[in-house]
């Protein structure tokens, strides 16, 4: 069964343009490195960087905390580190969704220890009700209720990432 639409392709596209415009203003004259968190962030990131009008580099990290569950295990594992040295540079971490907050808080602390000039975070989706760690992303596409969502990069058991919208799988 196709997931039910929660956020449409058009709504996503227009919000991504707004975020790109804001990020472009905030990073004028900076040394921007956009760090995407694999795999969920790749679709959002590829649209977002094309909506940003200032020079940038990209790199990727990968973490795991979920396995096949829809609940975080509470332990974040680093599966892939950056290729780029980030000391003195302006880092924007891009994530598909913030849920417990564990992933972004872990990654921010890890990258902070490498002395970048700045670190900010951008998420397409925020589930504020589920936070276990106090963490507020700098750029948020949409706040959503506590439902497990898929599409536009987000998966359930590796499926649905290619959907052009954010949807909810009915169980
Ligand atoms: P956190 O560490 O609990 O904030 O979780 C962040 C990660 O959990 C995201 O990068 C996603 O991979 C995954 N995640 C959390 N909620 C969802 C969801 O509703 N659908 C798909 N993945 C999710
Ligand atoms: Mg993820």
Q: What is the tens place of the pLDDT at every residue in 83-126?
A: 999 999 999 999 999 999 999 999 999 999 999 999 999 999 99
CA 161–ligand 2 middle distance (angstroms): 11
Residue-wise pLDDT tens digits, 30-67:
999 999 999 999 999 999 999 999 999 999 999 987 65
The dihedral through the CA atoms of 56, 18, 15, 89 has a sign that is positive
Is 153 among the domain residues?
Answer: no
Distance separating the N- and C-terminal Cα atoms of the chain = 10
Is 137 among the domain residues?
Answer: yes
Ligand 1 atom closest to 100 (CA)? 3
Residue 105 CA to residue 11 CA, distance in Å, equals 28
What Cα–Cα distance (Å) separates residue 122 from each residue in 1, 20, 68, 90, 130? 31, 10, 25, 13, 18
Cβ of 100 less than 6 Å from ligand 1? yes
Of residues 76 and 152, the one with the higher pLDDT is: 152
Is 156 among the domain residues?
Answer: no
The answer to whether residue 68 scores a pLDDT higher than 80 is: no
Burial category of 123 from C-beta neighbours within 10 Å (exposed 0-12, middle 13-18, buried 19 and up): buried
- As for how many domains the chain has, the answer is 1
Q: Catalytic positions, please?
A: 99
CATH code for the domain of 90: 3.40.50.2020
Probe ligand 1: pick from 3, 39, 66, max atoms within 8 Å of CB? 66
Q: How many CA atoms lie within 13 A of 73 on its CB side?
A: 10
Is 161 among the domain residues?
Answer: no
State which residues form the domain around 127. Answer: 9-147
Is 45 among the domain residues?
Answer: yes
Both tokens of 120, joined, read: 């900010």
Is 136 among the domain residues?
Answer: yes
Is 164 among the domain residues?
Answer: no
Q: What is the DSSP letter of 130?
A: G
Is 39 among the domain residues?
Answer: yes
Cβ of 99 less than 6 Å from ligand 1? yes
In which band, very low, low, confident or very high, does the pLDDT at 171 lie, cut at 50, 70 and 90?
Answer: low
Q: What pTM was computed for the model? A: 0.95
Ligand 1 atom closest to 101 (CA)? 4
Cβ of 142 less than 6 Å from ligand 1? no
Q: Which helix (H) or strand (E) is 8 found in, with range?
A: none
Q: What is the DSSP letter of 108?
A: H
The answer to whether residue 71 scores a pLDDT higher than 90 is: no
């Amino acid at each position: 069964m196709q997931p039910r639409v929660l956020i449409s392709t058009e709504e996503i596209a227009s919000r991504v343009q707004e975020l790109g415009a804001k990020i472009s203003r905030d990073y004028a004259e900076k040394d921007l490195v956009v760090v995407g968190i694999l795999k969920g962030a790749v679709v959002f990131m590829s649209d977002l960087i094309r909506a940003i009008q200032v020079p940038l580099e990209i790199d990727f990290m990968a973490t795991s905390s979920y396995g096949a569950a829809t609940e975080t295990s509470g332990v974040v594992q680093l599966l892939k580190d950056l290729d780029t040295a980030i000391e003195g540079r302006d880092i924007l971490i891009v994530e598909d969704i913030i849920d417990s907050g564990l992933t972004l808080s872990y990654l921010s602390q890890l990258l902070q220890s490498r002395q970048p000039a700045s670190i900010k975070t951008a998420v397409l989706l925020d589930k504020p009700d589920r936070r276990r760690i106090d963490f507020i992303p700098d750029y948020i596409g949409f706040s959503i209720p506590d439902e497990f969502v898929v599409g536009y990069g987000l998966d359930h058991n590796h499926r649905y990432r290619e959907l052009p919208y954010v949807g909810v799988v009915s169980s």
